[in-house]
Structure formats: C-alpha cells, structure tokens
Amino acid sequence: MSEERSVFSKIVSGEIPATLLADTERVIAFPDIAPQAPVHILIVPKTEEYHNVVELAAGDPDLLAEVIAVAKSLAEEHTGGEFRLVFNTGASAGQTVFHVHAHLLGGALAEGTLAGA
C-alpha cells in the first residue's frame, strides 16, 4: 500500500496553489493558512524523504541549514529579524503534516502560542 503524498508535496509540485515567499532549488516557503502569529510562514524542503526535523538533521544537515538560512532571510524581510523557528516532531507534539517543515513565527506573539502542523 502506498502512502498518500502530503499537502506540502502537492504544493511543491504545483497541484495545490500557494503564495511562495521563497523558492530555492531545495526549499519553498509560504504563509500558513491558519496563522498563529502576525507572521506565520512555513519553510518546507521540496523532498518527501524526511518526516521530521530529527530525520532531516541526521540525513541531510546541509538541507536543514538551508531551511534555517531561508527562515533567517524571511525573518529579516517580514519581522525585522526577530522570530521563533518551530519544528513539531510527532503527533503528540502537534505535528499534523508528516513532511518536515519549520514554522517561522514573528510579530507580537501571544505568550504560550505554539504552532501546530
């Protein structure tokens, strides 16, 4: 039985439209559809290979570094360089899409706000 492709894989392939804020050879970024902060951007590797940040760090640390570099660049543009970067790992930690991705959160954050997905 084959696993269904994630919503992020469908965005990467263009099957689902998204407003791209960054698009490199290996990473895309777009606004979260359910923002939990004034700025809430998802940074997503184009590969489906890694389900979470632990797998990504072990399998391709250069790609993880690119995700962080893209986040930094977007934060400079959208939040004056101040931001939180959140990776949820596992369903009980709030991960709902099992295609590794980072949440860039910025602006006036409510205390205790956590990013889902």
Please report, rounded to a whole number, the percentage of residues in the chain having pLDDT higher than 70: 90
The predicted pLDDT at position 1 comes to 36
State the Cα–Cα distance between residues 42 and 36, nearest whole angstrom.
Answer: 12
Question: CA of 5: how far to CAs of 59, 60, 67, 79, in Å?
Answer: 20, 21, 21, 32
7-106 belongs to CATH 3.30.428.10: yes
Helices (DSSP H) in 14-115: which residue ranges? 53-59, 61-78
Domain residue ranges of the chain, discontinuous segments joined by +: 7-106
The residues assigned a catalytic role are 101
The predicted pLDDT at position 109 comes to 62
Q: Which of 4-13, 84-93, 103-112 has the lowest mean pLDDT?
A: 103-112
